[in-house]
Amino acid sequence: MKITDGDAFSRSIGVPFFSPLITKKDKQAVLKALESPLLTDGPILREFENAFAKFAGAKFAIGVSNATSALHLTIKSAGIGNGDEVIIPDMTFVATASSVLLSGATPVLADINDDLNISVKSIEKSITSKTKAILPVHFAGKPCNMTDIGRIAKKNNLIVIEDCAHAIGSKYNKRHVGTFGSAGCFSFYPTKNITSIEGGMITTNSGKIAKYISTLRNHGILKSLKERYTHGKPWDYDVLEPGYNYRLDEIRSALGLSQLERINKLNSDRKRAFEYYNSKLDNVKGISTPKIQRDSTEAFHLYIIKIKKDYKISRDALFRKMLSQGIRTSVHYKPLHKFTVFKKKAKIYDKLDNSEMTYKEVISLPFYPQISRIQQDQVIECIV
C-alpha cells in the first residue's frame, strides 16, 4: 500500500486514526462570519469567549490563535522568564515544553503515573529554589489529581497552569479543569474534542491575567478596537511591552462556537466508543485497557491501550500489522527527554522510569465521535 501525506486522516482507507466532523450548521456559521464587517477580533470572538467561560465555569475566557500561544502568554502573565523553572510531565506534546522555553524559562521534566498523568511524587522531587510553576497536562482528557497538585503548589508557593488541550469537557470533583490553577489552556486543533481548525482559549478567574493576555495577544495595544473607534482618536494608543499577533479571527470563532454547542454530544459519543473498545479488549491477555473513573466527566480525547510482555506480539509488530490492514494508529507521545532540543534545554531531577516504560507499551487506536461499530470491530479483530 502506498502511503501519502494526510492518509492517516483519509476517509478512503480502512480505518483512519482520526476523522474530522464539520456539519452543515458549522459551514453556515463560517459563511455568515465571512460577511461580518470585522473579520477578526470582533463580536463573534466575544460570543465564543463568553460561551466558553460559561461552559468551563470560569470568570474569563480569552481566545487566541492556538494552545501553544495560549500557554506562552499564560506563562508570561505569571511573570515567569529567564532563570525560572517550570515542572511539566515528560510525556506530553512538544508544545507544552516549547512554550516554557519561548517564555525564557526552563522546563523540568517529571515522571508520569500509570494513568499517563504527571506523578505527584515526581513533582515533589523536581522542586528547586528556582521552581516557579507546575504545568500539569490532563492527558487524554483524564483529569490530574488537582487536590494533591494544589497542595504541593501551596506548600511551595508555586503557580499552577493547566494544559487542557486534551480536556474540553473534563471535570475533576465536578469542577471543569482549567479553573484550578491560575489559568487553563485549551486547543481547538482539528484532532481535539472541538475544532476551530487552528485556535485556542485561556480560562482564568483573574481579571489581571485576562487583561494582560488580551493585550499581549493583540500587539500589546492597551485599547480595544471598539474603544479606539468609539472614543477619541483611533491611532492614539500606547504599548508597554512588545506583544504578539495571537488573535483568533471571526471565521474560526464562528466554527468554534458552532462546535461548542454540541460538545456534550461529541463527548458522549466518544464515551460510547471508548466503552465499546473496553468491553471487547478488557479481557485480552497482555492488553491493559484504560480505566474509567465512576461518576467522572471526561473528554475521552484518545483511546490508549498498553501492550504488555505477555501479549502475543510486540507493540511495534501490532502497529505494523494494523497498518498493513489499513488501520491507522499512533503513539502519544515520544517522551520529551528523547528530543534533541529538550536534551539540551530541559532539566531532569528525577528518574523518568515510568515514562520510559510506558513509551514502549502504549498505542493509540483509531478514535473519534463518529467512528462506526464496523470500524471498531475491524480494529478489535486485529488485536484479539
Ligand X SMILES: *Cc1c(COP(=O)(O)O)cnc(C)c1O
Q: 3-class SS at 109? A: strand
C-alpha count within 13 angstroms, C-beta hemisphere, residue 245? 2
Q: Give SS3 for 241.
A: coil
Q: How far apart are CA 83 and CA 180, in angstroms?
A: 25
Closer residue to ligand X, CB minimum distance, 71 or 120: 71
Give the residue with the Cβ less far from ligand X, 68 or 131.
68
Instruction: Name the minimum Å distance from CB 95 to ligand X.
Output: 4
Q: How far apart are CA 332 and CA 92, in angstroms?
A: 7
Contact call for residue 67 and ligand X (CB under 6 A): yes
Evaluated on CA atoms 42, 102, 163, 6, the torsion sign reads positive
With CB under 6 A as the contact rule, the residue among 18, 48, 93, 367 that binds ligand X is 93
C-alpha 73/C-alpha 75 separation (Å) is 5
Q: Is 86 a binder of ligand X (CB under 6 A)?
A: no
Give the interface segment with ligand X, choosing from 158-166, 214-222, 257-265, 282-290 (CB under 6 A). 158-166
| Nearest CA-CA partner of 371 in 319, 303, 295, 298 | 303
User: In whole angstroms, how close is the CB of 163 to ligand X at the nearest point?
Assistant: 5
Stretch that binds ligand X, among 50-58, 127-135, 161-169, 248-256 (CB under 6 A): 161-169
Q: Is 142 in the site for ligand X (CB under 6 A)?
A: no
Place of cell 473607534: 229
Question: For ligand X, which residue of 62, 95, 110, 255 counts as binding (CB under 6 A)?
Answer: 95
| Residue 95 in grid coordinates | 508544545
Please identify, among the stretches 36-44, 66-74, 275-283, 359-367, the one whose residues bind ligand X according to the rule CB under 6 A: 66-74
CA distance 151 to 160: 11
- Stretch near ligand X under the rule CB under 6 A, chosen from 64-72, 153-161, 202-210, 212-220: 64-72
Q: In angstroms, what is the C-alpha Rg of the chain?
A: 21
Cβ-contact 83, 62 below 8 angstroms: no
165 binds ligand X (CB under 6 A): yes
Query: Using CB under 6 A as the criterion, what x/- string covers residues 326-355 for binding ligand X?
Result: ------------------------------
Q: Taking Cα atoms as reference points, which of 301, 251, 332 lies closest to residue 22?
A: 251
Site stretch for ligand X (CB under 6 A), options 76-84, 118-126, 162-170, 256-264: 162-170
Scanning residues 182 to 221, which ones bind ligand X (CB under 6 A)?
Answer: 187, 189, 200
Residues 290-309 that bind ligand X (CB under 6 A): none
Residues that bind ligand X (CB under 6 A): 66-68, 92-93, 95-96, 137, 163, 165-166, 187, 189, 200
